[in-house]
Amino acid sequence: MKTVLIANRGEIACRIIQACRKVGLRSVAVCSQSDASARHVALADDSFVLGPAPARQSYLNVDAVLKAAQDARADAIHPGYGFLSENAEFARLVEDRGMIWLGPRAETIAIMGDKGQARMAAIAAGVPVLPGSVPIRLDDAADLDALAAQVGYPLLVKATAGGGGIGMRRVDGPDDLAAVVRTAQKLAERTFGDGTVYLERFVARAHHIEIQVFGDGAGRVAVFPERDCTMQRRFQKILEETPAPGLSNAVRAEMQDAAKRLSAAQTYRSAGTVEFIFDADKGDWFFLEMNTRIQVEHRVTEMATETDLVAMQMQLAMGTLGDLAEVYPLIEQRCVIEARICAEAPEKGFLPQPGRLTRLDLPKAGDNVVVDCGLRAGDDVSPHYDSMIGKIIAKGRTRDEALDRLGRALEQTRIEGVMTNIGFLRVLLLNRDFVEGRVHTRYVDENVARLVDEMQITA
Residues marked as catalytic: 293
Q: Are 250 and 244 in contact (CB under 8 A)?
A: no
Beta carbons within 10 angstroms of residue 267's beta carbon: 17
Considering just the CA atoms, what is the radius of gyration of the chain in Å?
A: 21
Sign of the torsion formed by the C-alpha atoms of 7, 50, 57 and 100: negative
Residue among 361, 345, 362 at smallest CA distance from 420: 345
- Residue 309: what residue type? L
Residues 155-190: b if buried by 16+ CB within 10 A, e if exposed: bbbbbbbbbeebbbbebeeeeebeebbeebbebbbe
Element (H, E) at 171: strand 169-171
Measured CA to CA, the distance from residue 125 to residue 323 in angstroms comes to 24
Q: Would you state the torsion angle of the CA atoms of residues 183, 187, 189, 192, taken in this order, to the nearest 10 degrees?
A: -150
Measured CA to CA, the distance from residue 131 to residue 150 in angstroms comes to 8
Measured CA to CA, the distance from residue 416 to residue 254 in angstroms comes to 45
Q: Would you state the torsion angle of the CA atoms of residues 352, 354, 359, 362, taken in this order, to the nearest 10 degrees?
A: 40
Q: Beta strand 197-201 with 155-159: parallel, antiparallel or unpaired?
A: antiparallel
- Residue 203 backbone phi and psi in degrees, to 5: -100, 120
Cβ-in-10-Å burial (0-12, 13-18, 19+) of 450 comes to exposed
Q: Would you state the torsion angle of the CA atoms of residues 442, 296, 112, 315, taken in this order, to the nearest 10 degrees?
A: -160
Q: Are 11 and 391 in contact (CB under 8 A)?
A: yes
